[in-house]
Amino acid sequence: MINILANDGISQSGKDALEKAGFNISTITVAQEQLINHIQTENIAVLLVRSATTVRKDLIDQCPSLKIIGRGGVGMDNIDVEYARSKGLNVINTPAASSSSVAELVFAHLYGGVRFLHESNRNMPLEGDSNFKKLKKAYAKGVELRGKTIGIIGFGRIGRETAKIALGIGMNVLAYDKFLKETKITLNFMGGNSIDFEIKISPLDTLLKKSDFISLHVPAQNQHVIDKKEFELMKNGVGIVNAARGGVINEVELVSALESGKVSFAGLDTFENEPKPEIKLLMHPNISLTPHIGAATNEAQDRIGKELADQISNILK
C-alpha cells in the first residue's frame, strides 16, 4: 500500500480519487518540526502541500521513502524543487486549476475599490445609523471599470484569466510579460459562443503610464517589481492589486503612494510578512484586504485535488 500525506489538506474529490486508485491517504496536519520523523515512521511515499508546509533539502535528504512531492496550486517557492528533482523525486503542481479563482478575486478587489466597499463595510456598522448622509456623501464618487484600462503584469495563466474578465466587462487590456511578444486569448460564453482576442505585449513603462488599474501576476521575485521608480511612472489615482506573491510590490513605497494620492486604492491578498502583515497595511483605509485566499474556492480546490490524483496515479501506476 502506498501512503500519501496531504499535510495542508486536500479536497474530498481528490481524496476520493486517490482512494479509488488504491492509495492510502492521510489528511492529518503534522507540525513542520515533526514532519521528517512522521514521514520516516509512516513510510510516506507522496507528500502533498499547499503554501503552509515547506519542503527543504534537509527533509528531502532524511526521507528516502519519498517519491513524489506535490504542490496543490501554482507557486513552488516553498519547495526546493531543483534539489528534489536532482535526487530523483517527482515534483508536481497544478498550475491551471486555480487561475479563474484568482482572477475573480482580483475583480472583487477592483469592484470593491472603485465603489469604496472595503471602507463602507468597515464604517456602516459603526456609523450607518448615526451618520448615514455623511457616509453617503463620502462614498458618492465611485467610478466604473467599463471603458478603463487595466495593465496586467505577468501574462501567464492567471494574467490571461484576469484579461478575459476585463475584456468581458468592456475594459481595455495592456499586458507586460518578459517571455511573450503577443498572445491570443479566447473568451468562452454560455451556449458555446466564443471570441478570440489578439493581445500585444506592451513595454512595462508604457503599461505603467497608461493604466487606470494594475494587477500583478508574477512568481515570487528576488526584488520588487513595483518600487519607487515604477510608482512615479503611474497615472495619478491608479488602483493596484497584488494577488500574486508578497514582495513583488515594495509595501513601504505603496503606503507612501497611497498617502500622496498617486495610488487611490490597493487590493492586497499577499504580503511580504505572511502570516503577520505590517499593521500599517492592515489599518490603512484605502487598502482592501484578504488573507491569501486567491485559490481558495471550492471549485479550484476540487480541480486541484483531482489534478493531483491524476498525476500521482500516472506516475506510480
Identify the active-site residue in 19, 144, 232, 274.
274
Cell numbers for 166, please give them: 476585463
Task: Please indicate whether residue 56 is annotated as part of the active site.
Answer: no
What's the CA gap between 240 and 267, in Å, rounded? 6
What's the CA gap between 102 and 124, in Å, rounded? 28
Find the helix packing angle between 298-316 and 99-114, rounded to 10°.
160
Task: Please indicate whether residue 224 is annotated as part of the active site.
Answer: no
Other beta carbons within 10 angstroms of residue 13's beta carbon come to 16
Identify the active-site residue in 245, 251, 303, 307.
245
Sign of CA dihedral 153, 273, 98, 63: positive
What's the CA gap between 243 and 301, in Å, rounded? 17
CA distances from 172 to 99, 154, 196 (A): 20, 16, 15
Task: Please indicate whether residue 274 is annotated as part of the active site.
Answer: yes
Active site residue ranges: 245, 274, 292
